């Protein structure tokens, strides 16, 4: 082993406090990045996951202008013949005024979004039915599932109560229909239909006087990475129709764009943390150089060149960086594992969607490692400038 590497190793192991301090500085920098990633990227991915599961699926097909007037069953069958597509289902969006009668008392009327679903097909593309914690999904034509916020705003409507919805149909005519509440939907984090009501799609079509129209086709894929490919294929296959097809990232853009800026900011803060670690290493390395001034003088006196001293302290930085990056990455992975296994969530909010982003993990480790080396340049350079005679006078 090269004597400079050997000596650097010995100097560090004999200064355990400095070594531990420097390693901790690097490790904590990495850990902060990992924790940030797990929480904020996990939250972002959880929102994407929930929006996909509840609202948009992998591909959302709508009409550029209005409702889709092509037969929805034909479109669903078309999609389901494509390899990679797991299922497709139609939905219809509208709005209505709602009031409820609970214990004989009528509540105040207000407007709410209404989602019409094909209950059997919808369960194959969406997990919204799983969010119906109380009661059951809209399998009957006169049944309605209320979002938990709507139920609360209506004064605590429960399963079995009646609600009256007033729609305006295609021709501008008011249509009033009484529904029986069969379920209350509530999603952790509120990305589901907590602020909407769900009815059977055929009931909604009938009320809107749009019997052959569809609001959207939700397409679920076996392999979500094929989304762009399948979306493009769909649009190429129906060039004359005014279809609009979007992947989940495109559909959820409005909800996610602000969040992404937040994540970028948090990442930036994380990288500033890493820079602080680098400054800590500079300080610790300066202390190491200072405590080894006499030794540097001795080495120079017996023939070590400035380059050898530089290499010695750069190797120390390399060792600190390697151990710090290793320990930090191990701690970060342990935290990620814990968050993933426990389906980490905060105060009943949505469970984080924790993933091992190996590219980011490796990038973080390498950045820290490189920063530790860069942070050692100045102290190492300072060590080379020491004059042997003066250095040896240091006690």
Partner 1 sequence: MNKIYGEGETAVHALKDVSFSIKRGELLLIVGSSGSGKSTLLNMIGLLDRPTSGKIFLDGTETTTLNDNKISSFRNSKLGFVFQFANLLSDLTVLENILLPRKIQRTDKNAIDDAKKLLRTVGLEKQMNNRANKISGGQAQRAAIARGLINNPSIVLADEPTGNLDSVTAEIIVQLMKSLVKKLGQTFIIVTHDKHQFGDVDRVITIKDGRAFEEEEPKGMEVAAT
In terms of Cα–Cα distance, which of 45, 26, 36 is closest to 329? 26
Per rule CB under 8 A, is residue 294 in the interface with partner 1?
Answer: yes
> For the chain, how many residues are written?
395
Among 35, 82, 298, 331, binds partner 1 (CB under 8 A): 298
Tokens 């309605």 found at:
144
Per rule CB under 8 A, is residue 385 in the interface with partner 1?
Answer: no
Pairwise CA distance, residues 72 & 121, whole Å: 12
Backbone angles phi, psi at 99, to 5 degrees: -145, 160
Shortest distance, CB of residue 306 to partner 1, whole angstroms?
A: 6
Strand partners, 97: 111, 166
Shortest distance, CB of residue 309 to partner 1, whole angstroms?
A: 10
Per rule CB under 8 A, is residue 299 in the interface with partner 1?
Answer: yes
Interface stretch with partner 1, choices 65-73, 111-119, 128-136, 293-301 (CB under 8 A): 293-301
Among 308, 345, 367, 381, binds partner 1 (CB under 8 A): 308
User: Is 102 within 8 Å of 158 (Cβ atoms)?
Assistant: yes
Element (H, E) at 272: helix 253-291
Per rule CB under 8 A, is residue 310 in the interface with partner 1?
Answer: no
Pairwise CA distance, residues 65 & 183, whole Å: 33
Among 302, 347, 348, 358, binds partner 1 (CB under 8 A): 302
Shortest distance, CB of residue 289 to partner 1, whole angstroms?
A: 14
Per rule CB under 8 A, is residue 306 in the interface with partner 1?
Answer: yes
Distance of alpha carbon 232 from its chain centroid, rounded? Answer: 25
Per rule CB under 8 A, is residue 10 in the interface with partner 1?
Answer: yes
How many residues of this chain bind partner 1 (CB under 8 A)?
23
Per rule CB under 8 A, is residue 14 in the interface with partner 1?
Answer: yes
Q: Which is nearer to partner 1, 198 or 304 (CB)?
A: 304
Per rule CB under 8 A, is residue 7 in the interface with partner 1?
Answer: yes
User: Is 288 within 8 Å of 11 (Cβ atoms)?
Assistant: yes
Q: Which is nearer to partner 1, 5 or 159 (CB)?
A: 5
Per rule CB under 8 A, is residue 279 in the interface with partner 1?
Answer: no
Rg (CA), the chain: 31
Burial class (CB in 10 A: 0-12, 13-18, 19+), 155: middle
Interface with partner 1 by CB under 8 A: which residues? 3, 6-7, 10-11, 14, 294-295, 298-308, 387-389, 392
């Amino acid at each position: 082993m090269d004597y400079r590497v050997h000596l650097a190793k010995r100097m560090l192991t004999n200064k355990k406090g400095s070594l531990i301090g420097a390693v901790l500085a690097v490790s904590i920098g990495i850990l902060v990045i990992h924790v940030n990633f797990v929480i904020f990227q996990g939250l972002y991915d959880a929102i994407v996951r929930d929006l996909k599961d509840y609202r948009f699926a992998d591909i959302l097909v709508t009409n550029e202008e209005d409702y889709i007037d092509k037969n929805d069953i034909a479109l669903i069958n078309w999609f389901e013949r494509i390899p990679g597509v797991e299922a497709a289902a139609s939905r219809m969006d509208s709005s209505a005024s709602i009031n409820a009668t609970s214990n004989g008392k009528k509540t105040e009327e207000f407007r709410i979004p209404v989602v019409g679903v094909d209950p059997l097909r919808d369960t194959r593309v969406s997990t919204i039915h799983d969010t119906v914690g109380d009661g059951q999904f809209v399998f009957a034509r006169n049944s309605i599932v209320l979002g938990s916020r709507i139920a609360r705003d209506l004064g605590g409507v429960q399963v079995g109560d009646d609600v009256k919805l007033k729609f305006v149909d295609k021709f501008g005519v008011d249509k009033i229909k009484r529904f029986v509440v069969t379920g209350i939907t509530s999603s952790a984090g509120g990305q589901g239909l907590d602020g909407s009501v769900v009815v059977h799609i055929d009931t909604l079509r009938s009320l809107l006087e749009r019997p052959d129209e569809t609001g959207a086709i939700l397409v679920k894929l076996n392999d979500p990475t094929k989304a762009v490919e399948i979306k493009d294929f769909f649009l190429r296959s129906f060039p004359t129709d005014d279809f609009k097809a979007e992947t989940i990232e495109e559909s959820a853009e409005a909800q996610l764009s602000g969040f992404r800026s937040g994540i970028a900011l948090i990442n930036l803060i994380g990288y500033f943390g890493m820079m602080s670690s680098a400054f800590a290493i500079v300080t610790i390395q300066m202390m190491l150089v200072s405590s080894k001034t006499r030794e540097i003088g001795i080495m120079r006196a017996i023939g070590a060149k400035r380059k050898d001293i530089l290499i010695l302290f750069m190797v120390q930085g390399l060792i600190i960086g390697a151990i710090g990056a290793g320990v930090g990455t191990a701690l970060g992975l342990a935290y990620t594992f814990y968050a993933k296994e426990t389906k980490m969530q905060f105060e009943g909010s949505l469970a984080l969607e924790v993933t091992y982003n190996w590219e980011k993990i490796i990038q973080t480790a390498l950045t820290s490692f490189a920063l530790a080396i860069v942070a050692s340049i100045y102290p190492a350079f300072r060590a080379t400038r020491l004059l042997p005679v003066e250095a040896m006078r240091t006690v």
